[in-house]
Structures are given as structure tokens and as C-alpha cells.
Amino acid sequence: MSNATQTTNKPSVMDFLTRPAVKWVLGALLVGFLALLPMLNLSIPGVLPGATYTPGTLQLLAFTMLIAGLALSYHLIFGVAGLLSFGHALYFAAGAYGLGIVLRRFEMELIPAIVITLVVGLLIAGVVGAVSLRVTGIGFAMVTLAFAQAGSVLVRRNADWTGGDEGLALDTTHIPDELVGVLNTRNLYWVCLAVLVLVFLVTSWFEKSRAGHVVAATRENELRVRVIGIRPYFVKLLTFIVAGVLATIVGMAYLLLQSSATQKIITADFTLTLLVIVVLGGVGYRWGAVIGGVVYTLLDQRLTVLAGSEAIAGLPDFLRIPLSEPLFILGTLFILVVLFLPGGIAGLAKRVTRGRSNVRAERDVLEEVV
């Protein structure tokens, strides 16, 4: 990748745009623009359900940002540390259900409730990480899956605490009025934007920290890291916990935004969705995880609308049935990306702008996992 600059001696526009300082400025501008969206009257027909100031659109955008944030936290485990976890939904659900239960049962103010939920998320991630990191590869994947299943069973069994199949509704008694109700969706939108920015900053900072470098090195060659005299276990555990806590934060924002938590968010399928998002966006790229989250959520949303449309209902069965199932289209798209586009969206963008084919290198990044 670095020899791309060597092949062209003239500084190009792309080289300027990918300088670190310029990247951060562009990022800040983007965040500023997103923060202004609730004041603007923009419509993108076919992508957004309405103008950007309407609550429905803001709700969808806020949800999209939360999924992007959650995907970022998964990127930290899967893309950076190279750990294939099948239980990431557990920490997200710990945030959503934890905050909901603390607010409802212990009648606390919002801030202390958030702090308690964070500690709970931290403890769960710590314990699960400490146990499951003792095995590697497929074993690790299975233990994390098993713990997430246990969480799912606990949520289903303790219906008087979690609401069981009905889901857990947010108790708004102790929530500030500014965060309740359809009219205040824009405030929730800003909260979700802030959460996404926070997760992105923490992820970037972690990746650039010493621990981040060690864990990336462990992904590439664990033996060499051991030979240097570093024990990878603790760094991996640290990464696991950071990712888990970030997921807990996103989960709490999810509860505030959606006003309820349902069992769907603790299933294995939900973690698989995160995996799909990260791979779709491009494994190893922070922006990839964000873009993957946005693309996936918007596609899911639009395809669901499309499925119910009259244009689809009029088609013959062999076209109508597949097209009316968003997950079928997304799953097929995912298979095609894995087969033909191993770098995902971010890898494709890089290839287009750099004009070089990196398929082999991108496949290798993917295979370093496990």
C-alpha cells in the first residue's frame, strides 16, 4: 500500500485527501454536517423515507449510527485483534437490558443508572473474556457463542425482569423530558451521533496505542509477540473488554432511542449481522465498519419497504418470493462480497482511488483472523 505513493511522484488529490491531518478535518466537517441535519430540509428519495428534519428520518439515521458504532466495536475484536467472536451481541444487550432494568427496578436517576450499567458491562466482558480467551480459534468462537446463548436463555427465562417475549419497555420516569417523545427525536439523534463519534475516537485511539499495536501484532504472528517477551493474553483481554464496554454504551443509547429492548438483540443472528456488516464494509478498516453499518441498515430498511410495495406484489412467484425477503438479498450480497470483493466497500474504494489491485493482500488480512 505504501508503494502507491512511490509509483506516482506527483502529489495527487487522493494523496492530499488521505493525509492524517486532512482526514481528521474532513471527519470533523462530516460530523458537523451530520449534527446540522435536523435543522436542514434535505431529501434523498429512495434512500431516506423523508426530509432530514422529520422524526421518522432522524430515527432511522440515529439507528443507523448506533449500528455503525456497534460494528466499530466489533471491528476492534474481529478486525484489529483477529478474534472471531460469536457473542458480541451479549454486551450490547447488557447495555440495553441493563439500563432498562436498573431504571425500572431501582428507580435511579439516568446518570447513576448509566454508570452502574457500564460497570455491569465491564464485569461481564471481563469474566467472559478471561474465560474464553483461554482457548483460541474455533474454540474461542464457540465459547463466546455459548455465553451469548446463556445470556439469551437468562433473558427469556426471567420474564418478570426482562419482559420475556414482549420485550422490556423503557421506564421514562427518570429520563429527562428532552429525551422522551417523538418531538424530541432530534435530541436523541444528537445523543446517538455523539455515541458514534465517541466510539470512533476510542477505537482510533486504542488502535494507535501501544496495546493496539501489540494486539495487531498478535493477530499477525502470535509466536513472534511471545518471543519478544510480551504475553498476548492480557492485551487480547484488554481489547475484548474495551470492545465490550463500547458495545454496552451503544446498547444504552439503543434503549433510549428505541424505548424498548427485545430478545432479537441477544440472538446469535444479531452477532452474525455484525460480522456481515464488518466484512461488507471491509475487514481491518475503521471507516469500513461505519460505512458497512450505514449501508447495511439503510439497505435493510429500504428493502423491507420495497418488499411491501405493489411493484413486487405483481411479480411472478419466482421473482416475488426472493425479492420480498430483505435478508435473502443481503445474504446473497454478502456471499458475493466474500467471493469477489474481499476488501469490502472500503477495499473497493481504496482500489478505485489507488488504481491498484490488492485482492491478495486483502484476503491475507482476512485470513490472519483466528
Residue 228 burial (CB count, 10 A):
9
Using CB under 8 A as the binding rule, the residues of this chain from 48 to 67 that contact other proteins are none
Q: How far apart are CA 232 and CA 89, in angstroms?
A: 24
Per-residue interface string for the shown chain with other proteins, residues 171-210, x marking contact by CB under 8 A: ----------------------------------------
The residue among 167 and 343 lying less far from other proteins, judged by its C-beta, is 343
Task: For residue 107, state whether it binds other proteins (rule: CB under 8 A).
Answer: no
Question: Does residue 331 bind other proteins (CB under 8 A)?
Answer: yes
Q: Is 220 in the site for other proteins (CB under 8 A)?
A: no
Does 223 interact with other proteins (rule: CB under 8 A)?
Answer: no
Tell me if 252 contacts other proteins by CB under 8 A. no
Which range of residues in 39-47, 67-75, 183-191, 338-346 is near other proteins by CB under 8 A?
338-346
Among 67, 84, 103, 246, binds other proteins (CB under 8 A): 84
Answer for which of 154, 159, 305, 315 binds other proteins (CB under 8 A) is 154
User: Whats the size of the chain, residue-wise?
Assistant: 370
71 binds other proteins (CB under 8 A): no
**C-alpha cell at position 235:** 492485551
Q: Pick from 4, 51, 146, 217 the residue near other proteins by CB under 8 A.
A: 146
Q: Which of 109, 166, 220, 367 binds other proteins (CB under 8 A)?
A: 367
Tell the smallest beta-carbon distance from residue 364 to other proteins (Å): 10
Query: Using the rule CB under 8 A, is 131 a contact of other proteins?
Result: yes
Would you give the DSSP letter of residue 52? Answer: T
Q: Which residue has cell 449500528? A: 67
Q: Is 120 in the site for other proteins (CB under 8 A)?
A: no
- Per CB under 8 A, 327 contacts other proteins: yes
Which chain residues interact with other proteins by CB under 8 A?
84, 131, 134-135, 138-139, 141-143, 145-147, 149-150, 153-154, 157, 268-269, 272, 275-276, 279, 321-322, 324-328, 330-332, 334-335, 338-339, 342, 363, 366-367, 369-370
